[in-house]
């Protein structure tokens, strides 16, 4: 059954008990302007306000640095006996952001919060979910253990890098998905002349979910396509060809993270130049847009060389307006996950099913 959770907000009116929405804010000092832009936190609060018909309790976790610079956390106002939902932003530094998250959870626990749910649209280190060689760590397993030790009692995430990561948590985890969010947009704006493609085998499960969703929406069979890749040596991938017919079609690619964009840019041009695709549409949950140190090339430079390629991201991680303006040739827009997170918070507090938000 496909559930349109957008239609349900008018029936969600009432009390969410002792819920307190806490937003992490980085500042130079307690009375200075915020250093980080985190509009998703505000949008989630606004969506939750609309769902319940009044403003829920809120607090701020102010993150500052001592001179050294070690991190200091101050929670204001009191969250005593509250069911805390911590909307955490990792700012620009994943290591510092993870340290700030651990310290914030500890501060909330010592402030007598009844429960601490971390609402993390994006979590660093999830790609480190296996041991690729000897004497390597598995950070995707380590961080959940540290967060739980600090006092986290539940996690709300969106689009885990791999489904098995949920098994790294001993506490409950609500793993939301963007399938419906992206799928609705594809159905409304792109149309049915599509093929569901992948950049590599890592995106198969995400593509499978989107394929099932869109076949139900369009009520017709939708073809698939795959990029065949080989790895002659570690860290080097070679595209061998395409499995599936994409000639004259719009190829839709679903991924969780746009990092240096090399994989997506190469796959896109393969579909177009070798397969004869009309256009390639990429839908990425998180836009990191990092600099490729090995090739000394930015994600922007890679994407600007592509033809007939477009990308959409979500607001799971803040991307400044200047970046969109500078790359409007290929970066077409941002879809908001705020309503999904607000619904998940509401349902956790009222005991309603959260799985309705992402079951396909």
Phi, psi at 68, each rounded to 5°:
-60, -55
Tell me the angle at which helices 39-52 and 338-350 cross, rounded to the nearest 10 degrees.
Answer: 50
Verify whether residue 229 is a known catalytic residue.
Answer: yes
Cα separation, 250 vs 184, in Å, equals: 16
CA distances from 107 to 57, 88, 102, 196 (A): 18, 14, 9, 45
Of the candidates 65, 229, 278, 332, the residue annotated as catalytic is: 229
What are the residues facing 74 on neighbouring strands? 62
Cα separation, 283 vs 181, in Å, equals: 10
**How open is the CA angle 156-161-166, to the nearest 5 degrees?**
50
**Would the CA dihedral through 262, 309, 249, 214 be positive or negative?**
positive
Smallest Cα–Cα separation from 172: which of 16, 22, 354, 339?
Answer: 354
Residues labelled catalytic: 229
């Amino acid at each position: 059954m496909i559930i349109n959770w957008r239609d349900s907000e008018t029936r969600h009116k009432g009390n969410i008990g002792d819920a307190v929405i806490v937003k992490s804010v980085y500042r130079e000092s307690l009375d200075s302007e915020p250093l980080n832009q985190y509009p998703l936190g505000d949008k989630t609060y606004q969506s939750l306000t609309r769902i319940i018909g009044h403003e829920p309790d809120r607090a701020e976790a102010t993150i500052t640095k001592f001179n050294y610079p070690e991190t200091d956390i101050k929670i204001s106002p009191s969250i005593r006996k509250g069911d805390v939902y911590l909307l955490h932003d990792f700012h620009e530094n994943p290591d510092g952001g993870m340290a700030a998250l651990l310290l914030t959870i500890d501060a909330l626990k010592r402030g007598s919060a009844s429960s601490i749910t971390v609402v993390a649209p994006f979590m660093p280190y999830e790609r480190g979910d296996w041991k690729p060689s000897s004497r390597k760590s598995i950070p995707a397993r380590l961080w959940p253990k540290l967060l739980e030790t600090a006092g986290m009692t539940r996690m709300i995430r969106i689009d885990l890098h791999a489904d098995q990561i949920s098994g790294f948590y001993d506490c409950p985890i609500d793993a939301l998905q963007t399938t419906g969010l992206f799928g609705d947009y594809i159905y409304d704006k792109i149309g049915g002349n599509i093929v569901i493609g992948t950049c590599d085998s890592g995106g198969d499960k995400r593509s499978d979910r989107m394929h099932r969703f869109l076949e139900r929406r369009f009520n017709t069979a939708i073809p698939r396509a795959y990029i065949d890749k080989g790895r002659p040596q570690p860290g080097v991938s070679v595209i061998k060809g395409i499995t599936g017919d994409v000639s004259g079609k719009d190829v839709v690619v679903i991924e969780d993270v746009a990092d240096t964009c090399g994989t997506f840019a190469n796959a896109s041009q393969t579909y177009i130049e070798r397969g004869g695709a009309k256009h390639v549409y990429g839908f990425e949950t998180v836009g990191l847009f990092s600099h490729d140190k090995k090739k000394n090339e930015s994600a922007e430079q890679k994407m600007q060389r592509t033809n007939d390629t477009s990308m959409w991201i979500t607001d799971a991680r803040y991307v400044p307006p200047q970046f969109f303006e500078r790359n409007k040739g290929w970066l077409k827009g941002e879809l908001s996950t705020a309503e999904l997170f607000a619904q998940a918070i509401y349902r956790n507090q009222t005991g309603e099913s959260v799985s309705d938000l992402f079951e396909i």
